[in-house]
Structure 1
Amino acid sequence: MTRIDPDRLTFLRDERKSRYEARLDDTVVGVVEYSPRDRTMIIVHTGTKPEFRGNGIAARITQHVLDEARKLDHRVVPECPFTAQFVAEHPEYADLVA
């Protein structure tokens, strides 16, 4: 496992691929993939590159995506088990669930 400072992560929304990317410099280290439906994001997958697991990247990008959904006045359907668990453990995001 490669240790990183999660504060160095940047996040990018790639609408063409329907995903958010967590980047460390120019390297994609994590993703959240979604299926857009009107003003709803169906979150289908959260993943971190194996060598970067254990750094909190999945939690950071999930939090970013949920915060972005709130800013865009979108709802979310957390089909991804990681995202569903994250929302269950962070009730401040419960109002976003469609």
Structure 2
Amino acid sequence: MGTAEIEIERHDRVTHGDYVAQLPDVNGTAKLSWTMREGVRHAEHTFVPPAARGRNIAAKLVEALVSDARSHGFKIAPDCSYVERYFDRHEELADLRA
């Protein structure tokens, strides 16, 4: 399974939520969890099953979060170390960083 086929589901519960990718080829789920505090979406945890790592799945989850931030006008606090590294590598996202 290539990353092109990965579909990201958004589970938005107003104050918290997840970006989820079902990974049928590894019988698992990748997830980026967030909480909203004072208008900022805090990216708290990113998980990709070990068998699916190295395929840019975590990046796809962050890209969905970034897309939503651009569409809905919120900032992102990259509390998760993966999301922080992603922001550090993509200087064009500085305006979204809380």
Report if TM-score (shorter chain) is over 0.5: yes
Q: Percent identity?
A: 26
Counterpart in the other structure of 1:22:
21
* Structure with the higher helix share, 1 or 2: 2
Taking structure 2 as the reference length, the TM-score comes to 0.85
Q: CA RMSD in A?
A: 1.7
Q: What do residues 35-85 of structure 1 show as CA deviations (whole Å, max 9, x unaligned)?
A: 112431011111101211111101111111111111110001000000001
Q: Name structure 1 gaps, 5 residues minimum.
A: none
Residue aligned with 1:18, SS = strand
Rounded Cα–Cα distance in structure 1 between residues aligned with 2:17 and 2:45 = 11
**Conservation of the 8 A alpha-carbon contact between 1:29 and 1:52:** no
Rounded Cα–Cα distance in structure 1 between residues aligned with 2:40 and 2:75 = 5
Q: How many residues align?
A: 94
**Conservation of the 8 A alpha-carbon contact between 1:10 and 1:24:** no
Rounded Cα–Cα distance in structure 2 between residues aligned with 1:83 and 1:21 = 15
